Chains A and B, each alone.
Chain A
Amino acid sequence: MASTSGTIPTTGRYRLLGHPADLAGHLSTLGPVPLPSGSRGWREAFVSMLESSGLAGRGGGGFPTAIKLAVAHAAGSGGTIVVNGMEGEPSSDKDKLLLMRSPHLVLDGAQLMAAACGARSVVVCVPEGRDQVASAVSTAMAERTGAGCAPVHEVLVRPPDRFVAGEESALTRWVEARQSLPSFRPDKGTALKIGRKGALVHNAETLAHVAMIARKGPDAFRAHGLVEDPGTSLVTISGAVRHPGVVEVDRGTPLIDIVNRSTPDGPPQALLVGGYGGAWVSPAHFTTPYASLPLRAIGATAGVGIVIALGQEACGLMESARIAHYMAGESAGQCGPCVYGLPAIAGDVTRLARGDIDPGLRARLDRRLAEVMGRGACRHPDGAVNMVRSALGVFASDASSHALGEPCAHWNNRSQLRFPPPVAAARR
C-alpha cells in the first residue's frame, strides 16, 4: 500500500487518475454525470456507446462490459450493482488508489450501470482493514447524497480481506449471506443473484472507465490502445524497481515500456504479469504488447493489471514456490483439488528450487498440475497452476540444474515479492 505514493502522472485527455477527489472539484473538472433525465432512448444510447467503446472488464476476466450489462438487464430490474473494490492480489494497488483519488468516478460508473439495468442499489465492497480506502468512499458517498448525485442508494460494505473474497460469486454471496465463499456455477454465463434479484459485479476500474466513456464518448476511449483492445489500463508495478506504483498505460504498450516507467534496478530476469494467478514472462517476450490477445499468445493474461519485475538476484523458482504456498493458504477450503492439490504443488516447487534429490519430482509435479487444473468451483487453483507452469517454462534451465541437485545461488534470498503479513492468514 505504501507504494501508492509512487504514482506517476499521465498526460492526455482521457485518463482515470489525476482528477479532484472531492465532489465539487470532480464535477467542475469533468462535468455532471450524464444520467437519464426522463429522456426516452437513454438506455439504448448508453448501451450502444458502451458497445462501440469496446470496453472490457479490468478485474481479471476481461469480459466485454456491454455483454455483461445485457445479461444483467435480461435478469430484470430491482437488482444490485456490486462495485468490486476487493483487490485481493497482494501486488495490486490500482483499485485502492482509484477509490481514494477518484471515488466519484467509480460511483458515477455504478450509477450509470444502475440506471441502465434498473438496479435499486449500489453496494461498494472494500475489505476489512483498508480503512483509508473505506473512509474515502464513505466521504464521497455522503457528499453525493447531499448533492443529489446518488439517485440509486449507495452503501459501503466490508467483506473479509482474503484473496478469493473478490471472486464475483463469493462477493454476491457475502453481500447476501455474509459468507465469503465462491459458488459452483457450471454455467458462468448466467446472471448472478442477490436474493431473487440480479446482481451485476464490476471491478472499480471498469466502472471508472464507464463514467469517463459516458462523459467523453467512446472515441476518446478508443483514441488510446489498440483497435481490438482499446483504452487505457491501470497497472501496478513492483518488484526490483526503484519507483513501485500505479501507472495508467494505453492497452498495447510493450511490457518493458511499462516496467521502465518504474525504473528497474537492472535488466529484469523475468516479469510476472497478471499477479499471483498470472504468468512469468521471459526476456524474449518483454516487448509483448500489454493487451489480451498478445498476452494470451505467450500464455499470460493481463489479469488485474500487475507487472512485477524479477531482478537478477532472485531465484524465480523459489519465488514461484512462495507464491504457490501463498495461493494454497488462500484457498477458500471448499474443493478437494484446491485444498490438497495446491499445498502439494507448492511443496514440489519448493523441493525443485532447493535442489532436493528426488527423481520422481518433476513427473509428479506435472501430473499434479494437470490434475488440479479446472477442478475447483472457482478459478483460484487454475491461476496457481498457470503460474507454476509458466515458471517451469521461463526458469526451465534453473529447473533442470536444480533437478540435478544444484540449488541456485539465490534460492534463500529475501523475496522480491509482496505478501501480506501472516496475521491476515491466521485470522481466518
Chain B
Amino acid sequence: MIRILVDPVACDAYGYCAELLPEAISLDEWGYPVVDGKPLPADLAEAAKRAVRDCPRRAITLRERKGSR
C-alpha cells in the first residue's frame, strides 16, 4: 500500500500535486496540500509518481505503508 508524504517545510503551495492527484490530495484555504490519508488505489500509482516528479519543491515522497498508523 502506498502512502503519500508531504514535507511541510519544503512545500511552498505550488499546488501541482492537487491538480495531478485530486483523488487523494486537496488544497487548504491557503493552497497547501491536504492528503486524505486513505489507501491509494493501484491505478493512481502512476499519477502519484508524477506528482512526486513534478513538485517544484520536491516536497512529496511515496512510501510503502507498513501496517496502519
- Using a CB–CB distance below 8 Å, which chain A residues touch chain B? 181, 183-184, 186, 334-338, 340-341, 344, 368, 371, 375-377
Q: How far is the CA of A341 from the CA of B7 in the complex (A)?
A: 17
Known: A336-B13, A337-B28. A371 touches B34 (CB 8 A): yes
Q: How many pairs of residues, A versus B, come closer than 8 Å at their CB atoms?
A: 43
**Inter-chain contacts of A336 with B (CB < 8 A):** 8, 11-13, 28, 30-32
Query: In the complex the two chains form, is A334's CB within 8 Å of B9's CB?
Result: yes
The smallest beta-carbon distance between B15 and chain A, in angstroms, is 11
B1 at interface, CB cutoff 8 A: no
- Residues of chain A contacted by B30 (CB below 8 angstroms): 336-337, 340-341
Chain A residues closer than 8 Å to B31, beta-carbon distance: 336
Interface membership of B45, Cβ < 8 A: no
Other-chain contact of B28, A184, A371, A377 (Cβ < 8 Å): A371
Q: Using A336-B13, A336-B30, A377-B7 as known contacts, list a sample of 9 further A-B pairs with CB atoms less than 8 Å apart, ordered by residue number in A.
A: A184-B8, A184-B9, A184-B10, A335-B11, A337-B28, A340-B30, A341-B30, A375-B8, A377-B9
B44 within 8 A of A: no
Interface contact B9-A375, CB-CB below 8 Å: no
How many residues of B sit at the interface, in one of the four size bands?
A: 10 to 19
- B5 and A377 contact, CB distance less than 8 A: no
Q: Which residues of A contact B6 (CB under 8 A)?
A: 375
A184 CA to B5 CA in the complex, in Å?
11
Chain B residues with CB under 8 A of A344: 29
Interfacial chain A residues near B7, Cβ < 8 Å: 184, 377
Name, among B8, B10, B11, the residue most crowded by chain A CB atoms within 10 Å (CB to CB): B8
Partner of B8, one of A181, A368, A371, A377: A377
Given contacts A336-B13, A371-B34, contact A376 B8 (CB under 8 A): yes
A186 touches B34 (CB 8 A): no
Q: How far is the CB of B39 from chain A (nearest CB, A)?
A: 17
B8 touching A334 by the CB < 8 A rule?
yes
The residues of A that contact B34 with a CB separation of less than 8 Å are 371, 375
Specify the chain A residue showing the minimal Cβ separation from B10.
A184
Instruction: Please give, as numbers and ranges, the residues of chain B lying within 8 Å of A186 by CB-CB distance.
Output: 5, 63
User: Complex Cα distance A344/B28, Å?
Assistant: 12
CB-CB contacts below 8 Å: B12-45 with A: 12-13, 28-32, 34
CB-nearest residue of chain A to B12: A336
Q: How far does the Cβ of A378 sit from chain B's closest Cβ, in whole Å? A: 10
- Residues of chain B within 8 A (CB-CB) of A377 are 7-9
Among the interface residues A181, A337, A368, which one has the most CB atoms of the partner chain B within 10 A? Answer: A337
Nearest B residue to A336 via CB reads: B32
Which of A335, A340, A341, A371 makes the CB contact (< 8 A) with B9?
Answer: A335
